[in-house]
Amino acid sequence: MIAPVPILTAEMIAQIEALAPRYPNRRALTLPALHIVHDALRQVPQQAVVEIAAVLGLAPAEVQDTLTFYQFFHQEKPHGKVRAFVCRSISCALRGGDHLLEHLCHKAGVKPYGTTADGELTIEPAECLGACDFAPCILANDDLLKNLTPESAEAALKQVQAKAT
């Protein structure tokens, strides 16, 4: 049987190891390691879980447990170049957040949590983004988009997408 090509790069492993002194044990590095891999690949495939476990001296199931506990991590497919979190908590919901989510999903041709066929955009519902004064809002990559209407959200997302290419 041919061994699979490693997914974790030397750089990823170095990033994980660089964090080790800040944590009480190797197990506590699980979440930061998942973030490092997810940031690099926009997903954490099953093989990467096995490799993270090997780096940390854990069973793959322990790493997989952590991964699946959080809805944040994509495993089967990478999320889009732009990942848009549409807030659905109370302030945003009262100001049209649900409609915003529905509208953007409809325009992109995806269901919530879906990614466009070209891999450019993923739209996900999110809980409070901590910007309730600006409801409804979206966190798209590192940009907080505020006081949105369906139309202004489309335009703002296009700008974020232009920066991401």
**List of residues contacting ligand FES (CB under 6 A):** 87, 89-92, 128-129, 131-132, 135, 137
Strand order in the sheet with 143-145: 121-126, 82-87, 138-140, 143-145
**Cβ neighbours around 142 below 10 Å, total:** 7
Looking at beta carbons only, is 89 or 161 nearer to ligand FES? 89
Q: Is 89 helix (H, G, I), strand (E, B) or coil?
A: coil
User: Residue 99 CB, nearest distance to ligand FES (Å)?
Assistant: 14
CB 120 within 8 A of CB 61: no
Looking at beta carbons only, is 96 or 114 nearer to ligand FES? 96
User: Residue 95 CB, nearest distance to ligand FES (Å)?
Assistant: 8
User: Residue 157 CB, nearest distance to ligand FES (Å)?
Assistant: 17
User: Residue 94 CB, nearest distance to ligand FES (Å)?
Assistant: 8
Distance separating alpha carbons of residues 90 and 150, to the nearest angstrom: 18
- Angstrom CA distances, 68 to 58, 112, 155, 165, stand at 16, 18, 33, 29
User: Residue 146 CB, nearest distance to ligand FES (Å)?
Assistant: 9
Looking at beta carbons only, is 89 or 116 nearer to ligand FES? 89
Looking at beta carbons only, is 94 or 155 nearer to ligand FES? 94
136 preceded by a cis bond (ω within 30 of 0): yes
* DSSP summary character for residue 26: S
Looking at beta carbons only, is 98 or 120 nearer to ligand FES? 98
